[in-house]
Homo-oligomer: A and B are copies of this chain.
């Protein structure tokens, strides 16, 4: 299940996209508009700057802005950065130790297929798609 961390990140990006024509968007404003905890958002955003999703400027008049066009961010990309893992089962998670049953497991293909379906969907949607 997708946590608030990833969902809030998407809402933040959407909010920035819709307000950055006036310059850098301070997270305080986003938190107010979206009804979210500023302190919590401040914990999420560093992941987005480190991965070149947004640019953050400190100091008075600072804030955040997108570094690409909204249609160039897929939801999958955002969630892969902000969520711990998108894999639907533990054995497909990043950094999972190799499952001993893998070679003869009858269900692994099922889960790989599910994973594909999820990734394909999330990579087919962009921030721009959410803006209308």
Contact = CB atoms under 8 A, between A and B. Distances in A.
A1 B88 contact: yes
Given A110-B130, A117-B118, A118-B114, A89 B10 contact: no
B118 A14 contact: no
Interface residues of A, number: 28
Interface of A: 1-2, 7, 10-11, 14, 35, 75, 85, 87-90, 101, 106-107, 110-111, 113-114, 117-118, 121-122, 125, 129-131
A8 to B, nearest CB: 10
A89 B14 contact: no
B89 A7 contact: yes
A114 B122 contact: yes
